[in-house]
Amino acid sequence: MSGAGDPPAIDVRGVSFSFSPREGPRAVLDRVDFVVGGRDFVGIIGPNGGGKTTLVRIILGLLDPQEGSVRVLGAPPRAARRSVGYVPQRASINLAAPASVLDVVLMGRLGRSSWGWRFPRSDREAALASLALTGTAELAQRPLASLSGGQRQRVLIARALCADARLLILDEPTAGVDAEAERDLTELLHRLNERMPIVIVTHDIGFVASEVGSVLCLNRRGSVHRPQEVTGETLAAMYGGSVRMIGHDGCGGGHGVHVHAHGHADREPPGARGAAP
């Protein structure tokens, strides 16, 4: 449990970033301020190319800002990386590999043991505890490829938690899952939020409006709002007016409203893409 005197989980102050000096130091992020407290549940929304991916990479210590400062759990991002559980939108796991769910979750312990590829009992106990916490303990011996999308996502969350995470960051966690799986994931995230702060990058405005405690609207510059303040007018201003609200109640989604807008992914040169921890 974090106390009143503990530092913020994430403290981003005046952060600016560019992949190319010729574009100026604020081409991708422009003096962004962003603070996440010890039990916050925060959503990050914004258009493609608005800087969401870049901001996450800076928080994870994979990129350094040209301006400003970042502290994660009271430390520089690289020093805090092992205490951050990250669940990417597209996990780089070979589903054809003969690995069980337990094997996948144990990957979260890599780098913490001197035993090489032979995990000690303490690592296996941590992996089993993470599976239990995410409601997937009964799947431990099944191959990952045999799971549904919702089950697979909960296993990936277990892998992130297995690293003794004190902060959880997820990229589009409800993308590609059906309505029932989305409800299960939402309930799981709220339970986990009782233990740690959670940050979610998403295009699901329905999720943001009904589930998170605060919202960072990011399009190079950032502004923090309460969910009820994220209106159509707010979104039009952030997305430059090119916004379509897409309902999908009949297409498997749970919250029913996504934003689609014109834009490009965060621009970066070859080799700039770092691997998530």
Q: What is the pLDDT of residues 223-277, one digit of tens each?
A: 999 988 887 777 887 777 655 554 544 333 445 545 555 444 454 444 443 334 4
pTM of model > 0.85 = no
CA distances in angstroms from 274 to 55, 78, 225, 243, listed in the order given: 13, 13, 30, 30
Q: Residue type for 275, please?
A: A
pLDDT, tens digit, for every residue of 82-101? 999 999 986 666 666 778 89
Q: What is the mean pLDDT of residues 219-226?
A: 92
Instruction: Quote the DSSP letter at residue 51.
Output: S
What are the pLDDT digits (tens) for 171-189?
998 888 888 999 999 999 9
Q: Is the dihedral of CA 89, 12, 193, 49 positive or negative?
A: negative
CB atoms within 10 A of CB 104: 23
Match 């919202």 to its residue by tokens.
Answer: 215
Length of the chain: 277
Question: What's the rounded Cα separation, in Å, for the pair 266 and 164?
Answer: 30
Mean per-residue pLDDT over the chain, rounded: 83
